[in-house]
Amino acid sequence: MFAEILTIGDELLSGHTIDSNSAFIAQKLTERGYWVKRKTTVGDDVKEIVAAVSEILQRRPELLVISGGLGPTHDDVTALAVAEALKKELLLNEEALRRIESFYKSLYERGLIDDPDLNDARRKMAYIPEGAELLRNEVGAAPGFYIQKGPTKIFVLPGMPKEMKAMLENEVLPRIAGKRFIQKKLLAEITDESKLAPILSEAIEKFGVRIHSSPKGFGRYIGIIIFGENEEIIENAKRFMEEKGIVFEQGW
Amino acid sequence: MFAEILTIGDELLSGHTIDSNSAFIAQKLTERGYWVKRKTTVGDDVKEIVAAVSEILQRRPELLVISGGLGPTHDDVTALAVAEALKKELLLNEEALRRIESFYKSLYERGLIDDPDLNDARRKMAYIPEGAELLRNEVGAAPGFYIQKGPTKIFVLPGMPKEMKAMLENEVLPRIAGKRFIQKKLLAEITDESKLAPILSEAIEKFGVRIHSSPKGFGRYIGIIIFGENEEIIENAKRFMEEKGIVFEQGW
């Protein structure tokens, strides 16, 4: 089950914002047993988004999660670009419109905005590609949407972290397969990561696990994550490495 | 002058690490007048890296900065993959080998490692593609390298943030063109970003500036960054927007 993530936003490409959204999405997908093979970031530009989406679909992932560019501003063009990449019309979704209307009304009633009316910029957010299913935004204005293309489930989420996270948890994860992929974090007490390499390679080969190692400077500890289908496989791989002389400590 | 960034590391795709490296690189390149059009992240996998590098080179950016996967562990395969993508041999670089040797010797003398000798894993880091120029690592073991392919200057840097940053500042930036691109950060006092959109669009059209706006919740302020070739252009764009009724405050 392989997945890709596409984050959209000029602020990610100018370095003004660190892309923590894609890490959050990656973590949740990894926990669900998806193998995130690639992350891509492009700016708020229809042509760039269309190109990126088309290239990703050609690689035929089971899952594509897109985040960013669904808001009301001039540079929020994601829905339009995704529709174009899929050769679909953008259609006004009545439920989305009602939700946006009541969202702004509630902001107005709480004294947060001056004007509750639906101007063009706000109305724009209610347009989603033909055939797409609406994803609810419980925290903000912009709805997301879900659409299938060939083998690929495509989920399009807002870029505001609070909104993205709520929509991922409540609307995306329940719609995708739920096999859990076990991971175990360990600290390996060894003074030099290069000595670890052949032992890790052997364990990967022998037990069919995936292992990430993260150098933590040149201190005594190296961070290790073992990924496997169940606890037993991970435990066996760990024991094998211990027999080869690696001393593990719990977690990090 | 357009640029792309490729970050490499399984830990970025499992969500265990937030990719702050690419934001740092993006910021430095943006400051130098480069337009970062795309960021890509792939895992520590030769095939994936070769595919990503080949696709990026087909888009013919002036600059490609790659970070990650140059270390001594089993999953550090970036140099090998970049060589493969460029159809070059990997060759032992004598200067790199001497530097790696003296780096481990100094760690040994400071009591940080048990063994100063060059094993295969450490020696591996001294191999760089044929025709590449060595980039010095003043902070760690793994050297980087620079190689030109068609119109594209390719810089390959380590993934440890401290090492990447030092190498970017000391070895990359002096080798690339230095035009400064001015940017001004402002706070726009307006209660609804959607009202701002048509005014921003007009300013972009009229003054040839780029403008990023970042919603800061639904409070009174919206973050604005104006990018332009000089102070005067930015000042004119700002004045135009003020005349349209936007109240700006300094910085954020």
Whole-angstrom distance, CA of residue A249 vs CA of residue A188: 6
Cα A137 to the center of its chain, rounded Å: 16
In order of A220, B186, B205, B241, B250, the CA distances from B247 in angstroms are 55, 10, 20, 8, 10
- State the pLDDT at residue B179: 60
Q: Which of A157, A50, A137, A143 minimizes the C-alpha distance to A93?
A: A143
Provide the shortest C-alpha distance from residue B42 to chain A (in Å). 5
pLDDT at B251 over 80: no
Whole-angstrom distance, CA of residue B15 vs CA of residue B226: 32
- State the pLDDT at residue B74: 75
Considering only CB atoms, B27 lies closest to which of A14, A27, A225, namely A14
Q: Which of A157, A184, A162, A161 minimizes the C-alpha distance to A173?
A: A157
Q: Which residue in B24, B41, B211 has the most chain A C-beta atoms within 10 A of its own C-beta, making it the best mutation to test that interface?
A: B41
pLDDT at B188 over 70: yes
Which is it for strands B63-67 and B2-8: parallel, antiparallel or unpaired? parallel
Whether the CB-CB separation of B80 and B45 falls below 8 Å is answered with no
Neighbours of A131 (CB within 10 A): 14
Residue pLDDT, tens place only, B4-49? 999 999 999 999 899 999 999 999 999 888 999 999 999 999 999 9
Residue pLDDT, tens place only, B78-103? 999 999 999 999 999 999 999 999 99
- State the pLDDT at residue A188: 84
Considering only CB atoms, B218 lies closest to which of A11, A43, A112, namely A112
Whether the CB-CB separation of B81 and B122 falls below 8 Å is answered with no
Provide the shortest C-alpha distance from residue B180 to chain A (in Å). 14
* Gyration radius from chain B CA atoms: 22
H or E element that contains A49: helix A46-58
Whole-angstrom distance, CA of residue A204 vs CA of residue A198: 10
In order of A4, A113, A119, B200, B218, the CA distances from B194 in angstroms are 30, 11, 8, 10, 11
Each residue of A220-229: b (16+ CB within 10 Å) or e? ebbbbbbbbe
B152 residue type, one letter: T
Which of A83-87, A116-120, B141-145, B218-222 is least confident?
B218-222
- State the pLDDT at residue B178: 63
Do A71 and B193 make contact, defined as CB atoms within 8 angstroms? yes
Most confident of B28-42, B183-197, B203-217: B28-42
Q: Which residue in A192, A204, A227 has the most chain B C-beta atoms within 10 A of its own C-beta, making it the best mutation to test that interface?
A: A192
- Could you tell me how many CB contacts below 8 A there are between chain A and chain B? 192
Whole-angstrom distance, CA of residue A227 vs CA of residue A204: 10
- State the pLDDT at residue A189: 79
Do A112 and B196 make contact, defined as CB atoms within 8 angstroms? no
In order of B43, B163, B168, the CA distances from B21 in angstroms are 15, 11, 11
Whether the CB-CB separation of B207 and B240 falls below 8 Å is answered with yes
Burial of A219 per CB tally in 10 Å (0-12, 13-18, 19+): exposed
If you count them, how many residues does chain B have?
252
Chain B environment of A24 (Cβ under 8 Å): 15
Architecture, CATH, for domain A182-250: 2-Layer Sandwich (3.30)
In order of A2, A39, A195, B8, the CA distances from B48 in angstroms are 13, 12, 26, 10
| Residue located via tokens 């073991």 | B141
Do A40 and B43 make contact, defined as CB atoms within 8 angstroms? no
The residue of chain A nearest to residue B123, with distances taken between CA atoms, is A194
A223 residue type, one letter: G
- State the pLDDT at residue A192: 64
- State the pLDDT at residue A66: 98
pLDDT at B110 over 70: yes
| Arithmetic mean of pLDDT, B99-112 | 92
pLDDT at B154 over 80: yes
| Beta-ladder partners of B148 | B153
Whole-angstrom distance, CA of residue A149 vs CA of residue A15: 32
Do A38 and B42 make contact, defined as CB atoms within 8 angstroms? yes
Whether the CB-CB separation of A211 and A201 falls below 8 Å is answered with no
Chain A environment of B72 (Cβ under 8 Å): 193-194, 197
With pLDDT > 70 as the criterion, what percentage of chain B qualifies?
93
| Residue located via tokens 């191999």 | B127
Average pLDDT value over all residues in chain B: 90
| Confidence bin at B192 (pLDDT 50/70/90) | low
Chain B environment of A113 (Cβ under 8 Å): 191-192, 218
Residue pLDDT, tens place only, B68-77? 999 888 789 9
Domain at B2-175: CATH code: 3.40.980.10
- State the pLDDT at residue A158: 97
Whole-angstrom distance, CA of residue B17 vs CA of residue A204: 21
Do A71 and B215 make contact, defined as CB atoms within 8 angstroms? yes
| Beta-ladder partners of A51 | none
| Residue located via tokens 């606890």 | A231
Q: Count CA atoms within 13 Å of residue A162 on its CB side.
A: 8
- State the pLDDT at residue B219: 55
Q: At what angle do helices B231-243 and B193-207 cross, to 10 degrees?
A: 140
Whole-angstrom distance, CA of residue A155 vs CA of residue A200: 36
- State the pLDDT at residue B164: 97
* pLDDT tens digit at each of 252 positions of chain A: 899 999 999 999 999 899 999 999 999 999 888 999 999 999 999 999 999 999 999 999 999 999 999 988 878 999 999 999 999 999 999 999 999 999 999 999 998 888 888 888 899 999 999 999 999 999 999 999 999 999 999 999 999 999 999 999 999 999 997 666 678 888 887 766 677 878 888 998 898 888 887 765 555 677 888 888 888 999 999 999 999 888 888 766
| Beta-ladder partners of A144 | A135
Domain residue spans of chain A? 2-175, 182-250
> What sign does the CA torsion over A83, A88, A90, A95 have?
negative
Residue pLDDT, tens place only, B113-129? 888 888 888 999 999 99
Whether the CB-CB separation of B164 and B21 falls below 8 Å is answered with yes
In order of A131, A247, B57, B191, B219, the CA distances from A114 in angstroms are 35, 62, 49, 7, 11
Q: Using DSSP, state whether B183 is helix, strand or coil.
A: strand
- State the pLDDT at residue A219: 55
- State the pLDDT at residue B98: 94
Whole-angstrom distance, CA of residue A120 vs CA of residue A226: 50
Q: What are the two backbone dihedrals, phi and then psi, of residue A14, each rounded to the nearest 5 degrees?
A: -95, -5
Chain B environment of A39 (Cβ under 8 Å): 12-13, 19, 39-41
